[in-house]
Amino acid sequence: MKYFLRKLGQLVIVVFAVTFTVSLALGAIPYAEERIIAAKGSGAINEEEKNKLLDSLNLREPTLVQYGYFVGDLVTLDWGVTLNGNQPISSSISDGLKISLRLMIYGQLVALLLAIPAAVFAAYRSGGLFDRFSTTFSFGFISTPNYVLATVLGLLLTVRWKLFPAISTDVGFFEAPWDHFTNFFLPTIVLALPLAGTYMRLLRSDLINTLQSDFITTARAKGVSTPRILFGHALRPSLFSLVTAAAVNVGALVGGSVVVETAFNLNGLGRRTVLGIFASEFRLVQITVVVLALVYVMTNFLVDILYGFLDPRVRVGRLG
């Protein structure tokens, strides 16, 4: 319980600091007012409208008052509309979140599907041909920047062989399953391969450790078949760091797939933020960053709590 409260306290502090910084940041941006007005479409706007606009964003209030308004708007979900398109910010964010979540889930699934069998087999014949092969490859994947991967795959699969559309469009799975597949295949692969490399290395080294322990020898002595030993006995106790990494990535990937989203022109949450920064859509950016930070912090919090339950060592002591 004490552990839970401590983590909750940390969570509250971090959320407060994030919202405060984000709120403050607007005031620190050079020429914020001019940029906002430029984004609104400078020619058509007169002095009165300008003042109204700036007042509605509380830009001229003192910092603390600004923060108050910001949090108030956040909590009451009164997020306003974007400067140019008059699209409600909330709908823009939910659209982006949909794409980002989809990418994250696909990427994680593919990464895990690639990594787990590869790691198990590599650990089983550690030092063997497959182990060497897969370790080298996973190292290669980890060392490949995702934009390089996107460029190379894009060149080969879309430009040369025209297998996939160069620009992915967000097609729902139930509307057109095949189009959905072709549109999300490349982004998923680009996202998944480096992840798979990391996961494989983590799981492989843990598995090798587990396979040395006594209960595996016992199982072997009892005549349990090798696949059963590997998947039934050895895998579960070795999953700890893999699950941790995957869980942490759930939060990190929602906002962290900016490059992939940009490469394939998917309007995910990250890309919307980047475009928002370029287009001086500060309010959209502020709220998106808060949402992303919340997703990240909440997943980490949940992971912490879960592990507190699963493994008492985490709850009691510091593992440093």
Partner 1 sequence: MDSSTLVSVSDGWVRTTTLTDTATLDPLHDEPTPPRFRRRGRITMWVSGAWLLFIVFSAVGASFLPYVNHSCDQFENEDLCTTHVETNPLLAERPPSWALFSETSRPVVGDAPERFGLFGTDTNGYDLFSRTMFGARNSLLIGALSISFGILIGGMLGLVAGYMGKRVDKIIDTIMNILLAFPALLLAIFIVGFFDSSTTTEAESRSIVPIVIALVILSIPPIARLVRANTIVFAQREFVLAARSLGAKNSRIIMREILPNVMPAMVTFAITGMAILIVAEGALAYLGLSVTAPTPTWGAMIFGGQTKLETAWWISIMPSIILFVTVLAINLLGDALSEKFRIREAIG
Residues 24-63 that bind partner 1 (CB under 8 A): 25, 28-31, 34-35, 38
CB of 159 vs partner 1, minimal distance in Å: 5
For 53-85, the DSSP string reads: HHHHTTTTS-HHHHHHHHHHHHHTT---B-TTT
How far is Cα 220 from Cα 68, in angstroms, rounded to an integer? 64
- From 48-56, 65-73, 89-97, 120-128, give the range in contact with partner 1 by CB under 8 A: 120-128
Sole residue written with tokens 């989809």: 102
CB of 177 vs partner 1, minimal distance in Å: 28
Residues 308 and 116 sit within 8 Å (Cβ to Cβ): no
CA nearest neighbour of 115 among 242, 272, 297: 242
- From 65-73, 109-117, 172-180, 278-286, give the range in contact with partner 1 by CB under 8 A: 278-286
Amino acid identity of residue 267, one-letter, is: N
How far is Cα 24 from Cα 20, in angstroms, rounded to an integer? 6
Residue among 26 and 180 whose Cβ is closer to partner 1: 26
Which parts of 239-258 interact with partner 1 (CB under 8 A)? 240-241, 244-245, 248, 251-252, 255-256, 258
Q: Does 304 bind partner 1 (CB under 8 A)?
A: yes
CA nearest neighbour of 244 among 191, 198, 197, 292: 198
Q: Does 265 bind partner 1 (CB under 8 A)?
A: no
Among 91, 151, 218, 225, binds partner 1 (CB under 8 A): 151
Among 217, 218, 236, 309, binds partner 1 (CB under 8 A): 217
b/e 28-57 (16+ beta carbons within 10 angstroms → b): eeeebeebbbebbeeeeeeeeeeeebeeeb
Residue among 45 and 297 whose Cβ is closer to partner 1: 297
Q: Does 114 bind partner 1 (CB under 8 A)?
A: no
Q: Does 17 bind partner 1 (CB under 8 A)?
A: yes
Which parts of 152-191 interact with partner 1 (CB under 8 A)? 152, 154-155, 159
Cα dihedral: 225, 213, 320, 290 (round 10): 0
Residue among 2 and 318 whose Cβ is closer to partner 1: 318
